[in-house]
């Protein structure tokens, strides 16, 4: 298969074109992101360093790699007194659970776990899957993570409001974002009429019901006066430094059989990765690896090797079982997979 001569974008990727040198348009138009620097970060958080406060920031943690490093950095490098907040989205992996317990124990940071009652998050994701199945894999993967995102934000904001904390340190990074690629793709969102005429219209209504229940349960969004800091806007995101640090310092680990340390915290990821490949001709992991190679933060050969290992590990039968356990019908599973 032909791939970009710089990153690993495959020729099968929807919307991707190579020039005479074999470069994809994402590599041709790439502009390096320059972090604002630790000095600027310290200026931003200075007003929140009140020694009288029991906790002066919240770090949302998933049990994954980047948020684990954000917690470590907040406590050990910036000298903050963080409170770790986790939203159990019903898809938390065993690895994530172990990492959460181990890293907060070693850092001596309290861990607050939040979760919806009666598995509302899982029901919301399931109904969203059903209602989007009629419109293709692209819409499914584009909207799968919305409930989790809302849950993490609400968990962080509600705890900040409850405890009078004005600072949140987030561990998301632009380096792993798939947004640059998706800007090339025209996303078609179904109209209200198309939803009403869909054979899965009842799932649309059920989704709305569950999502409203979740919003009511989780509460409102950002409180007044809150400062959101995205750590990797200020410091360089470096995969090797992050992994080496959290493994050595706070006992973080990935599954022994996992070819990558990326997104080992969520059991939805294999499904999202598979459906992204089906919809766009490029997997979620390839998009992320391409970003890292493009920015010089991952070796191209290493990215190709890990991609092939992940490809070999795909088990469609396991995905079918996973969807069945979510309450997805056999007919929808057959249509989607």
Q: What is the CATH number of the domain that holds 238?
A: 3.40.50.620
Q: What is the pLDDT of residue 211?
A: 85
Residue 19 lies in a domain: no
Answer yes or no: is 164 within a domain: yes
Task: Report if residue 9 sits inside a domain.
Answer: no
Question: Is position 14 within any domain?
Answer: no
Domain count, the chain: 1
The pLDDT of residue 76: 97
pLDDT digit string, tens, across residues 210-245: 888 887 777 766 667 789 999 999 999 998 999 999
pLDDT at residue 257 in the model = 84
pTM above 0.85, yes or no: yes
pLDDT tens across 147-182, in order?
888 888 888 998 998 888 999 999 998 877 888 888
Q: Give the pLDDT score at 221.
A: 64
Question: Of 274, 185, 231, whose CA–CA distance to 72 is shortest?
Answer: 231
Say what the pLDDT of residue 51 is.
65
| 177 CB neighbour count, 10 Å cutoff | 13
Distance between CA atoms of residues 329 and 280, nearest Å:
24
Asked whether residue 84 is domain-assigned, the answer is yes
What are the DSSP calls for 54-92, one per residue? S--EEEE--SSHHHHHHHHIIIIIS---EEEEEEE-S-B
Residue 324 placed within a domain? yes
- Residues making up the chain, counted from first to last: 337
Q: Is residue 18 part of a domain?
A: no
Q: Quick one: residue 147, left, alpha or beta (phi over 0 = left, psi -120 to 50 = alpha)? A: alpha
Nearest to 60 by CA among 119, 118, 100: 100
Q: Which domain holds residue 235?
A: 34-336
Residue 28 covered by a domain: no
- Under-50 pLDDT residues of the chain: none
CA distance 124 to 265: 19
């Amino acid at each position: 298969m032909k791939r970009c001569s710089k990153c690993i974008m495959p020729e099968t990727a929807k919307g991707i074109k190579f020039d005479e040198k074999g470069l994809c348009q994402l590599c041709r138009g790439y502009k390096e992101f320059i972090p604002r620097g630790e000095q600027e970060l310290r200026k931003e958080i200075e007003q929140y360093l009140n020694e009288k406060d029991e906790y002066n920031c919240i770090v949302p943690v998933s049990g994954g790699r980047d948020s684990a490093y954000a917690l470590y950095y907040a406590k050990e490098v910036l000298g903050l007194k963080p409170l770790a907040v986790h939203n159990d989205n019903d898809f938390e992996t065993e690895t994530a659970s172990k990492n959460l317990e181990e890293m907060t124990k070693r850092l001596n940071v309290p861990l607050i776990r939040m979760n919806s009652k009666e598995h509302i998050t899982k029901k919301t994701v399931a109904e969203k899957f059903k209602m989007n199945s009629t419109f293709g894999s692209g819409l499914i993967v584009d909207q799968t993570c919305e409930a989790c995102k809302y849950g993490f934000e609400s968990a962080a904001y509600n705890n900040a409001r409850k405890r009078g904390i004005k600072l949140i340190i987030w561990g998301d990074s632009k380096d792993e974002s798939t947004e640059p690629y998706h800007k090339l793709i025209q996303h078609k969102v179904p109209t209200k009429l198309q939803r009403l005429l869909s054979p899965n219209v009842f799932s649309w209504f059920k989704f709305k019901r569950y999502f409203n229940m979740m919003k009511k349960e989780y509460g409102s969004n950002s409180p007044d006066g809150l400062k959101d800091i995205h750590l990797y806007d200020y410091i360089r995101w470096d995969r090797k430094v992050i992994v080496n640090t959290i493994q050595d310092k706070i006992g973080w680990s990935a599954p022994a059989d996992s070819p990558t340390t990326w997104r080992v915290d969520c059991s939805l990821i294999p499904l999202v990765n598979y459906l992204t490949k089906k919809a766009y001709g490029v997997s979620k992991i390839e998009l992320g690896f391409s970003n890292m190679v493009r920015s010089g933060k991952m070796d191209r050969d290493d990215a190709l090797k890990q991609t092939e290992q992940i490809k070999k590990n795909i088990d469609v039968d396991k995905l079918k079982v996973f969807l069945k356990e979510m309450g997805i019908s056999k007919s929808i599973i057959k249509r989607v997979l």
